[in-house]
Amino acid sequence: MNTTGPAADDVRARGLRLVPFRGLRYVPERVGSLAAVTSPPYDVVVRPDGLLHLESADPHNIVRLILPQAITAGTRHRKAAVTLDRWLADGVLAPDPEPALYVYEQRSGDLLQRGIIGALELSAPDRGIVLPHEDVMPHVVEDRAALMRTTAANLEPLLLTYVGEGDGATRVIEQAALREPLLATTTEDGVHHRLWAVTDPAELASVDAELGRHQALIADGHHRWATYLRLQEEHGSPGPWNYGLVLLVDTARHPLRVRAIHRLLSRLPVTEALAALEGRFRVRRVDGPLPAAMEALAGAVADGNAFLLAGDGGFHLVDRPDPELLAATIRTDRPEAWRTLDATVLHATMLDHLWHIPDAPEHIAYIHDTEAAVEQAERRGGTAVLMHPVREEVVRDLARQGVTMPRKSTSFGPKPATGLVLRSLALD
């Protein structure tokens, strides 16, 4: 790994350090198309339908590495490592000739997002350089750690945001976008993706100087960030495990969109869910179809906590919780902004106190897509709890206070496509 750059230890103590690496990329001649081998991030794939769709898109789709299928966890992870080694040996994947940072662009209609991919030096939480804003689930961290440990690779970049100053990295990104890209592809969702390598020492130094003055918010990838830190602790530093693959986006220039992540309670029928809420919340049936019901939810959220329940063929708006109930169920040692989050009320008051549902995978699934959440609830006879997104400024303010939100509270996007550039720790 190339760690050259300005020797500014005082800046290093405060800000981000993004270093070049030799990216692993698909060889276009060895795959059907670049679009066919990409995938959304592992936790966005709606299983099993989405997984099967991706596996059938191309025999070399990246989902075979990020979500390998086998009976046991250990077998899954070894299968991914064997597959990665085989693809490298067969020339399906190949490393770039020299270390680089990668400018990455996503474009769809009026949406344009550009950022820079590199290997970010890891830092302890108390240094405040990288700010998480959500809690994580230990079993997910364990699974991701085992996969990274076995493959010795970062298979997909985290999405981090920073508030830039319009110089340094910004100039490098805009200049790179004028050149011929390393790759260009359009995925089936209509998003156009382009990637450029930045290897010029002066440009790398310019990026380094600006990022060294900034901190970053984790927009997407809390479990993978926790995994990076765990593996760093296992392997020690310095060394390749002291860095993790990330995409950094200047949110001042390219504001991200914040969406909600919904809950699927597969073992709780809607009738039972509503009965437990009776007298504690206001419950009203609202008209569909789903977009109209979500508009009703957006209107109710303006006045306080609100949720939309579905799964029985209808839509039920749940709002106006009993203030005494909230006082009795929500901890008081957190800021007001945290105590009034919909996710806080959902987990502390509804899931824990009224429904008595443990936060375990067999009881709660987290689903990004609204239609998929409703469809799966109806198919399983369960309840979909549909959420309204949190404003980005609330997320960032809580993160700066060191306060984490309940897990899976937000979904920032657009998320980077998985499979465009990977990082092998064996090459560093």
The string of pLDDT tens digits covering residues 185-222 is 999 889 999 999 999 999 999 999 999 999 999 998 99
Residue ranges of E strands in 145-215: 153-154, 158-162, 183-186, 192-198
Confidence bin at 53 (pLDDT 50/70/90): confident
Q: What is the pLDDT of residue 32?
A: 84
The string of pLDDT tens digits covering residues 160-184 is 999 988 788 999 999 999 999 999 9
pLDDT beyond 60 at 296: yes
To which residue do tokens 């692993």 refer?
24
The string of pLDDT tens digits covering residues 246-279 is 999 999 899 888 889 999 999 999 999 999 999 9
Q: What is the pLDDT of residue 100?
A: 98
The phi and psi torsions of 206 (rounded to 5 degrees) equal: -65, -45
Q: What is the pLDDT of residue 366?
A: 92
pLDDT beyond 80 at 1: no
CB 399 within 8 A of CB 133: yes
Share of the chain above pLDDT 70, in %: 96
Upper half-sphere CA count for residue 316 (Cβ side, 13 Å): 21
Query: Global pTM?
Result: 0.82
Q: Provide Rg for the chain, Cα atoms.
A: 22
- Cα 88 from Cα 83, distance rounded (Å): 9
For residue 361, what are its two tokens?
A: 């995978």
Q: What is the pLDDT of residue 9?
A: 43
- Cα 294 from Cα 335, distance rounded (Å): 28
- Cα 248 from Cα 232, distance rounded (Å): 20
CB 117 within 8 A of CB 390: no
